[in-house]
Amino acid sequence: MASRAPVGECAAAHAALGRVTARHRQLALLLGSAADCAQLREELQERGKEAQELGTGLEERVARVGAMLTEMETSLNIPVWTVEATEAAWAERGSTAEAEAEGTGGEMPGGTEAPGHCCTVS
């Protein structure tokens, strides 16, 4: 459950940033209208600073989650393998009987042909 904590923090920070940004936009739309005053401009500056702080904090949280994911990926012992085509994509066979005559078996590990001889697994 501890690994979900940074994700939850990011979601909460993202939601808060969205609310602050929406409020900042609403205030900015009032500039130049009859509601324009010194108090509006002060609040607009405060909301701008708040949005910037939340954005910076969100960046830090995202970096922390990224580091956590990288650590998890590197600590897992997963073999690296690739698949390489041994024939052109969508290559047509002469007939179904010909395909059956060739067989569909094949050894998978160690760079040998896979079933159907369409690719090599290494």
Q: Which residue has the higher pLDDT, 40 or 120?
A: 40
Query: Is residue 120 helix, strand or coil?
Result: strand
Contact 67, 107 (CB under 8 A): no
What local confidence, expressed as pLDDT, does residue 38 receive? 93
CA distance linking residue 42 with residue 31, whole number of Å: 12
- Length of the chain, please? 122
Whole-Å CA distances, 75 to 63, 69, 70, 71, 78: 18, 10, 9, 6, 9
> Which residue type sits at 93?
R
CA distance linking residue 117 with residue 87, whole number of Å: 8
Count of alpha carbons within 13 Å of 48, Cβ hemisphere only? 8
Q: What is the pLDDT of residues 65-93, one digit of tens each?
A: 889 888 887 887 766 677 777 777 776 65
Write out the E strands in 31-116: 83-85
Contact 46, 40 (CB under 8 A): no
Instruction: State pTM to two decimals.
Output: 0.49
What local confidence, expressed as pLDDT, does residue 107 receive? 45
Contact 65, 10 (CB under 8 A): yes
What local confidence, expressed as pLDDT, does residue 95 receive? 52
